[in-house]
Amino acid sequence: MRRLLLVPLVVLALLAGVTAAVTAAPEGQPTGRTDTLFPQQGHPGYDVRHYDVRLDYDPATNRLDARTTVRATTPQRLKTFSLDLVGMKVTSVRVDGRPAGFRRDAQHLVVRPRVPVTGGFTTTVAYAGTPQEIVDADGSTEGWVRTDDGAIALGEPVGTMAWIPSDNTPGDKARFRFRITVPRGVQAVSNGDLVSKVDRGAGSTWTWRVRDRMATYLAMVAVGRFAVHRSSMTSVTGRRIPIWSFVDPTTGRSTTARAALPKVLRFQEKLFGPYPLTSAGLVVDAASVGYALETQNRPFYPDSVDSATLVHESAHQWFGNSVTLRDWHDIWLPEGFATYAEWLWTGAHDGRTPAQRFDDLYATPASDGLWSPAPTEFTDSADLFGEPVYNRGAMTLQALRERVGDTDFFRLLKRWAAVYRQGNAGTAQLLALAEQVSGEQLDQLFADWLELDGRPAGY
């Protein structure tokens, strides 16, 4: 009896403590929760609905002249709020059309509107300069990456702050429009659908519209000389999906990858449900980064596209881009699912099956880097794209499949993509959905595979 009374009291006290911890902020300042790995990124006090990004870029000088309008809402009353932006010179900030005060504070652009904002508000930032390339903790580069004939903007995990003043955290998805003016004869590709390309004077303006809510880290612009390929495919729903692909001619032929793309997407639709986005394609651009990236609609490949990578980045359109993590500490969700999608593809095309892959990996020594740190337990962002995240993440899904059986497992993949379509979800939501679909208690399995340091025993 006493225990029963105590438990709710303790829970209440804990809740109160937690609430105080996440909402403590001076009056008029945004409040809320920040990212576990990147506490400086993102601003919980408001929710962005739309980014209108206008870029004027000259590949010859690498100079960017930009104006971004951010439409957001807040349930609070904000005397000041911040956007993430590094480098670039800000020349003016307007809130709801009126000049606002602003200052730079490390990677934050701190805005002080004339009057506090509440409900919907619009912020327009004018800025210019040479956008930065950013070096991550693991030594890889992102942000605004210059190429031989232009540049490519890549944003995982944080690089988008080099060129869009943004709420740069995956939990705040929004719609986008990009209007990119480049010298005539140069192409400008981005996410979403090509709305128009207008030639005026010595320049061309390419307008791309992203109607599916997108996380900032998936934003991409590539400027340079590309061969442009337009086609389409038919979704399992009967919908026509336009395909726009941009291929840097210096990277060699892309015929195989372009022919494979609709086949891969159709294969994945059968397993994961309808393709979740308005359009598809790929961007091949010779850039000195050592990775491909699932930039929304149109993944980026730094070189000719191999089949495993094509399958991986395509799967991310469901897992990562449509269903998006909320906190970077859940990176195993997109990477584990995309890696598992590779296993499904090779298994269905005369290669090793997921079970064989699992067994081979499980046989690696307990001292192997695969086993530590556990997928959700790392605290150093240098481990974001480490082996445990990809391979142990995919093994988690195979362990889950063996536990619940094929019927429930494949039902879960489709439900996960459907329930959280264009939204955000974390590991806790996956566990809950897996338990709901299978009727089994799976917390131990999730803890073994995601949290335990070292190789889980008995699988």
Q: Footprint of Zn ion on this chain (CB under 5 A)?
A: 335, 338
142 binds, among ligand ARG, Zn ion, none (CB under 5 to 8 A by kind): ligand ARG
410 binds, among ligand ARG, Zn ion, none (CB under 5 to 8 A by kind): none
364: exposed, middle or buried (Cβ count in 10 Å: 0-12, 13-18, 19+) = middle
Residues 417 and 323: their CA atoms lie apart, in Å, by 6
Q: Which is nearer to Zn ion, 269 or 294 (CB)?
A: 294
Give the Cβ contact number of residue 65 at 10 Å. Answer: 16
| Shortest Å distance, C-beta 170 to ligand ARG | 12
85 binds, among Zn ion, ligand ARG, none (CB under 5 to 8 A by kind): none
| Shortest Å distance, C-beta 245 to ligand ARG | 18
269 binds, among ligand ARG, Zn ion, none (CB under 5 to 8 A by kind): none
385 binds, among Zn ion, ligand ARG, none (CB under 5 to 8 A by kind): ligand ARG
| Shortest Å distance, C-beta 353 to Zn ion | 21
| Shortest Å distance, C-beta 337 to ligand ARG | 11
Residue 411's SS3 state is helix
35 binds, among ligand ARG, Zn ion, none (CB under 5 to 8 A by kind): none
291 binds, among Zn ion, ligand ARG, none (CB under 5 to 8 A by kind): ligand ARG
Q: Which is nearer to ligand ARG, 213 or 312 (CB)?
A: 312
Q: Which is nearer to ligand ARG, 388 or 456 (CB)?
A: 388
Residues 193 and 191: their CA atoms lie apart, in Å, by 7
DSSP string covering 165-233, please? -B--STTS-EEEEEEEEEETT-EEEESSEEEEEEEETTEEEEEEEEEEEE-GGG--EEEE--EEEEEEE
Residues 150 and 180: their CA atoms lie apart, in Å, by 13
| 22 closest CA partner among 32, 12, 37 | 32
Residue 280: DSSP 8-state: B
| Shortest Å distance, C-beta 414 to ligand ARG | 22
| Shortest Å distance, C-beta 160 to ligand ARG | 12
The encoded tokens of residue 338 equal: 């995309």
Q: Which is nearer to ligand ARG, 248 or 294 (CB)?
A: 294
Q: Which is nearer to ligand ARG, 138 or 148 (CB)?
A: 138
Q: Which is nearer to Zn ion, 282 or 338 (CB)?
A: 338
Q: Which is nearer to Zn ion, 158 or 338 (CB)?
A: 338
Residue 111, beta-bridge partner list: 81, 102
Nearest residue relative to ligand ARG (C-beta): 140
Answer for the pair 109, 40: CB distance below 8 angstroms, yes or no.
no
The answer for residues whose C-beta is within 8 angstroms of residue 379's C-beta and 6 or more apart is 37, 373
| Shortest Å distance, C-beta 425 to Zn ion | 17
440 binds, among Zn ion, ligand ARG, none (CB under 5 to 8 A by kind): none
Q: Which is nearer to ligand ARG, 76 or 321 (CB)?
A: 321
Answer for the pair 221, 144: CB distance below 8 angstroms, yes or no.
no
Answer for the pair 126, 88: CB distance below 8 angstroms, yes or no.
no
Using DSSP, how many helices (H) and how many strands (E) does the chain show? 10, 22
Residue 105, beta-bridge partner list: 108
140 binds, among ligand ARG, Zn ion, none (CB under 5 to 8 A by kind): ligand ARG
The encoded tokens of residue 203 equal: 């320049």
375: left (phi > 0), else alpha (psi -120 to 50), else beta?
Answer: alpha
136 binds, among Zn ion, ligand ARG, none (CB under 5 to 8 A by kind): ligand ARG
User: Considering just the CA atoms, what is the radius of gyration of the chain in Å?
Assistant: 23
| Shortest Å distance, C-beta 123 to ligand ARG | 28
| Shortest Å distance, C-beta 404 to ligand ARG | 26
Q: Which is nearer to Zn ion, 248 or 335 (CB)?
A: 335
Q: Which is nearer to ligand ARG, 81 or 319 (CB)?
A: 319
Q: Which residues sit at the interface with ligand ARG, rule CB under 6 A? A: 136, 138, 140, 142, 156, 291-294, 312-313, 335, 385
| Shortest Å distance, C-beta 326 to ligand ARG | 16
Going 71 to 75 to 81 to 83, the CA torsion angle's sign is: negative
End-to-end CA distance of the chain: 41
